[in-house]
Amino acid sequence: MKRCQSCSSPIVVYSQNVSCDIHSEKLKDMPGMGEEYSFSNRIKQVVKSIVHNRPDVVALNEVRYKEFVNELIALLEEQGYMAQSFANNDGHMSFNNILAISETSEWEVMHWKHKWVAVDQLEQPYLEDKHCVIEGDPHGRGAGIAYLKHKTTNLQVCVLVSHVIPFGKVKTQQQNALLSLSQKNMQSQPPIPTMIVGDLNRFYDEKEQFSEQLLEYHMLEAVPQQFIIPTETEEIRLKGEDIGTFSPWPTDMKMYDKLLKEPISKSPLDVHVYTNDPSLIRNESVITYASMLKSPNRDPPPDGRNPVRHMLDRRMASDHIAIIGRYSMFG
């Protein structure tokens, strides 16, 4: 069957760092918190948020213990998603990325790929087919990839999920290795647009550098225009400096007090980026969405604390906020 040359096909992608299960062990032991913050309880709330938003593709970061990987995949399968995990290495506590595709979606998986960040002899980052490590990250850094085809139009798209280390030259190398997949896919016949999603640890003060990286690899960032915080009776909708993707747990003592005084826009760690070719792919809308474990704080914030971060403090099912992007594919 030929690929449609005058069609457009929508796709919705939900990504989120679900906050490493090791955090849960610490949270449960903190005063005033407890079992409610267990990974099993938190991840059920994340899945509820996924089901509420009905994405075609789900991309999740930072699950470590294998039993929790299996639990999360089972929860997604119960909700009609076909899911795969992609570990950084074979260790019991390896970070895992999860990709899941809705069985009711108009998109279907052509094939999955599991790749690892690598650097060649000329120090050029790329993606390798087998487990490998680079200097500065002895564990290896995996990426989960799904090549999708629309069931009616036969249009194709590639979605990659990964999570890079937070600092330094190695972070930039890992980001660039992921971005390089778009260039490779555009050399296919026909060319395949690419979306790269997840916790790329894009810090606020690195915005200009990251923009230069995207320019080099011919990619664009889908910039969220709205932040939604659901409650029992309404959705709180925020804009501008009230949009970000991270607000810390109290277990992150080094950053907790500092960040709670800053606008949440200073924490844009998670991203959606996509191939810069509007003849193949366009971003139609993108929002951030809080998976809530409890109702938002409604009491006045203490002096110096940012009102939005105060509203979310110890209330979310993860310390990261989901990004939900709607895209159109063209052929």
Average of per-residue pLDDT across 185-207:
96
- pLDDT tens digits, 314-328: 999 999 999 999 999
- pLDDT tens digits, 235-251: 999 999 999 999 999 98
- pLDDT tens digits, 263-272: 999 999 999 9
User: Percentage of the chain surpassing pLDDT 70?
Assistant: 98
- Helix ranges, 138-265 (H): 168-186, 207-216, 253-259
Cα 207 from Cα 17, distance rounded (Å): 20
Q: Which residue has the tokens 């960032």?
A: 221
Instruction: Report the topology of domain 99-330.
Output: Deoxyribonuclease I; Chain A (3.60.10)
Cα 123 from Cα 136, distance rounded (Å): 13
Closest CA to 186 of 218, 148, 161, 221: 218
**Taking a C-beta distance cutoff of 8 angstroms, is the pair 69, 97 a contact?**
no
Instruction: Please report, to the nearest 10 degrees, the dihedral formed by the alpha carbons of residues 247, 248, 254, 260 taken in order.
Output: 50
- pLDDT band at residue 1 using 50, 70 and 90 as cut-offs: very low
- pLDDT tens digits, 151-183: 999 999 999 999 999 999 999 999 999 999 999
Cα 47 from Cα 22, distance rounded (Å): 19
Q: Tell me: pLDDT of 3 over 60.
A: no
Closest CA to 27 of 15, 16, 41: 41
Closest CA to 23 of 316, 309, 251, 292: 251
